[in-house]
Amino acid sequence: MRPTDNTVAVVGTGYVGLTTGACLAQLGSTVTCVDIDVDKIERLRLGHLPIVEAGLAEIVRDMSAAGRLHFSTDPTESVSGADVVFLCVPTPQDDDGSADLSYVEAAAASIGPALKTGAVVVNKSTVPVGSFHVVSDALDRTDVDVVSNPEFLREGTAVHDFLNPDRVVIGAESDAAAAAVRALYESLDTEFILTDPASAETIKYAANGFLAMKVSFVNSVAAMCEQVGADISSVVAGIGSDHRIGSEFLKPGPGWGGSCFPKDSRALVAIAADHGYDFSLMRGVIDINEQQYERMVHKIISALGLFEHDRLSGRVVGALGLTFKAGTDDLRESPSLRILDELRRHGAAVQAYDPTTTGELNAVQRDRLAGYEVRGTAIDAATGADAVVVLTEWPEFEELDLGKIADVMRGDTLVDCRNLLDPGEVRAAGLDYDGVGRR
Ligand code: UDX
């Protein structure tokens, strides 16, 4: 993409911030990514990324070499020349679903005095509807516009999603501010939805809530299939071909997780409640997801030949997959870990393998996986196991040497929580098979 004369600063270099900064540079802007974490910025300057994300390292390398992507620990200096400043800082959540806006407020307050007149501050952090004003107040600048530009990228395909969006949503109170943000994306062949800030903030929650609803729906239908003797793959093929329904986001699994769906669905319920509306449908979507984790635990317990209230002491589970989905190293709200934590609580020993935990574990992995026995290969995880459980849909699990798995196991059951394997092939290897909603 040809360089433009747009100058951008991105505050926060997490999944969203780093992808936004690198991809906006790719689209032509000159971008400075700022973070208070000195070590992270030093490593980024050397081309070492803190996250696993397909294609991102290449863009960071190329754009840094082209002089369009810079890294800094100094917010004041970084934002002072910027036309547009993106806030991409975390918004952690309390147990009741309400968002902690202290990082967003602190970031806005720290850059406020340094912004040039006419600059536009874009909030990409997912914030409760109406938080637009929180950012404006913290900036304390009447000559600066605040715009909401929610992000829809998925982990694992973040770069692709950023550069090939279905739409770009811009919520602004002034046309000039909306135009300044739109200019950054102008080279994309996409639809622009220009709206007010509250609608833009609502779009983000509603999109994630709807997608979570699709997955909860299909998981419920899968549970029903098991009772009535139907097959979920045929049912999904049958309903997904109706273009009003669509075939995406209808893969049954162990339940949804990650950094967005759980947080955003709880927030949707909390925001609605704050405004006097009981969003009972969304509460149901969340309940069904919690039940899905439990259903998987029960499946595994019965695969071990035991009952719900039995202790699992002495039983060994070989777990394949720890991340919340394939293509990412993110363990946040991972269904795999929810399920395995519960099995461990019942007394089972878990031997786990995930392609992203084969080397030295980073601090987050060490912390979250404390007490887990992390193994270096799928075969190692299966060795001596009473049951093997597929929890994340990593493509390499489709290529498992099932005969070898059967040989090294102590038991003879495989539970496939992602419907990834061919039941016939698993049975041919001498193992019992149980999937989700499969006949
Ligand atoms: C999601 C949204 O898709 C994205 O637009 C938003 O910006 C952030 O949240 P992400 O969290 O990266 O992205 O994961 P996604 O691919 O959407 O999957 C979410 C969860 O649903 C995962 O646990 C996944 O395994 C599960 N899922 C998804 C299913 O179980 N079945 C499906 O058919 C799709």
Examine residue 242 and state whether it is found in any structural domain, yes or no: yes
Atom number, ligand 1, closest to the C-alpha of residue 207: 5
pLDDT of residue 95: 76
CB of 256 within 6 A of ligand 1: the answer is: yes
Residues 314 and 371 in one domain: yes
- Domain count of the fold of the chain: 2
Domain boundary, last residue among 159, 194, 229? 194
pLDDT of residue 80: 95
Any idea what the CATH number is for the domain that residue 330 is in? 3.40.50.720
CB of 260 within 6 A of ligand 1: the answer is: yes
Mean pLDDT calculated for residue range 161-182:
97
CB of 324 within 6 A of ligand 1: the answer is: yes
Residue whose CA lies nearest to ligand 1 atom number 3: 154
Examine residue 2 and state whether it is found in any structural domain, yes or no: no
CB of 15 within 6 A of ligand 1: the answer is: no
Mean pLDDT calculated for residue range 316-339:
96
Examine residue 248 and state whether it is found in any structural domain, yes or no: yes
Residues 181 and 212 in one domain: no
pLDDT of residue 309: 74
Q: Please, which pLDDT band fits residue 170 given cuts at 50, 70 and 90?
A: very high
Mean pLDDT calculated for residue range 136-153:
94
Atom number, ligand 1, closest to the C-alpha of residue 257: 23
Residues 142 and 166 in one domain: yes
Q: What is the whole-number distance in angstroms between the Cα of residue 337 and the centre of ligand 1?
A: 16
Residues 85 and 174 in one domain: yes
Residues 163 and 74 in one domain: yes
pLDDT of residue 71: 97
Examine residue 122 and state whether it is found in any structural domain, yes or no: yes
CB of 257 within 6 A of ligand 1: the answer is: yes
Q: What is the whole-number distance in angstroms between the Cα of residue 34 and the centre of ligand 1?
A: 27
Give pLDDT tens digits for 215-264: 999 999 999 999 999 999 999 999 999 999 999 999 999 999 998 999 99
Three-state SS string across the chain, please? CCCCCCEEEEECCCHHHHHHHHHHHHCCCEEEEECCCHHHHHHHHCCCCCCCCCCHHHHHHHHHHCCCEEEECCHHHHHHCCCEEEECCCCCECCCCCECCHHHHHHHHHHHHHCCCCCEEEECCCCCCCCHHHHHHHHCCCCCEEEECCCCCCCCCHHHHHHCCCEEEEECCCHHHHHHHHHHHCCCCCEEEEECHHHHHHHHHHHHHHHHHHHHHHHHHHHHHHHHCCCHHHHHHHHHCCCCCCCCCCCCCCCCCCCCHHHHHHHHHHHHHHCCCCCHHHHHHHHHHHHHHHHHHHHHHHHCCCCCCCCCCCCEEEEECCCCCCCCCCCCCCHHHHHHHHHHHCCCEEEEECHHHCCCCCHHHHHHCCCCEECCCHHHHHCCCCEEEECCCCHHHHHCCHHHHHHHCCCCEEEECCCCCCHHHHHHCCCEEECCCCC
Q: What is the whole-number distance in angstroms between the Cα of residue 124 and the centre of ligand 1?
A: 18
Are 327 and 159 a contacting pair, CB within 8 Å? Answer: no
Give pLDDT tens digits for 389-429: 999 999 999 999 999 999 999 999 999 999 999 999 999 99
pLDDT of residue 132: 83
Atom number, ligand 1, closest to the C-alpha of residue 208: 2
Domain limits at 276?
A: 196-439
Atom number, ligand 1, closest to the C-alpha of residue 261: 9
Mean pLDDT calculated for residue range 280-287:
98
Average pLDDT of the chain, as a whole number: 95
- The Cα-based distances of 229 to 224, 305, 438 in angstroms read 8, 21, 8
CB of 154 within 6 A of ligand 1: the answer is: yes
- The yes-or-no verdict on residue 130 having pLDDT over 90 is no
pLDDT of residue 98: 78
Residues 332 and 414 in one domain: yes
Any idea which residues carry the catalytic annotation? Answer: 260
Q: What is the whole-number distance in angstroms between the Cα of residue 261 and the centre of ligand 1?
A: 7
Residue to mutate (ligand 1; options 19, 211, 247; most atoms within 8 A of CB): 211
Residues 249 and 312 in one domain: yes
pLDDT of residue 239: 98
Examine residue 82 and state whether it is found in any structural domain, yes or no: yes
Mean pLDDT calculated for residue range 324-344:
96
Residue whose CA lies nearest to ligand 1 atom number 17: 154
242 CB contacts (<8 Å, ≥6 apart)? none
pLDDT of residue 369: 95
Residue whose CA lies nearest to ligand 1 atom number 16: 154
Domain boundary, last residue among 139, 165, 194? 194
pLDDT of residue 94: 79
Q: What is the whole-number distance in angstroms between the Cα of residue 408 and the centre of ligand 1?
A: 33
CB of 338 within 6 A of ligand 1: the answer is: no
Mean pLDDT calculated for residue range 11-15:
94
- The yes-or-no verdict on residue 126 having pLDDT over 80 is no
Q: What is the whole-number distance in angstroms between the Cα of residue 189 and the centre of ligand 1?
A: 24
Q: What is the whole-number distance in angstroms between the Cα of residue 207 and the centre of ligand 1?
A: 11
Q: Please, which pLDDT band fits residue 314 given cuts at 50, 70 and 90?
A: very high
Mean pLDDT calculated for residue range 344-363:
95
Examine residue 1 and state whether it is found in any structural domain, yes or no: no
Buried b (16+ CB within 10 A) or exposed e, 333-370: bbbbbbbbbbbbebebbbbbbbbbbeeeeeeebeebbe
CB of 215 within 6 A of ligand 1: the answer is: yes
CB of 211 within 6 A of ligand 1: the answer is: yes
CB of 217 within 6 A of ligand 1: the answer is: no
Residues 187 and 214 in one domain: no
Residues 202 and 185 in one domain: no
CB of 13 within 6 A of ligand 1: the answer is: no
Residues 146 and 262 in one domain: no
Residue type present at position 253: G
Atom number, ligand 1, closest to the C-alpha of residue 251: 33
Share of the chain above pLDDT 90, in %: 89
Domain boundary, last residue among 194, 210, 240? 194
Q: What is the whole-number distance in angstroms between the Cα of residue 309 and the centre of ligand 1?
A: 32
Residues 186 and 205 in one domain: no
Residues 161 and 210 in one domain: no
**Reported pTM:** 0.93
CB of 210 within 6 A of ligand 1: the answer is: no
pLDDT of residue 371: 87
CA atoms of 19 and 170, how far apart (whole Å): 18
Examine residue 275 and state whether it is found in any structural domain, yes or no: yes
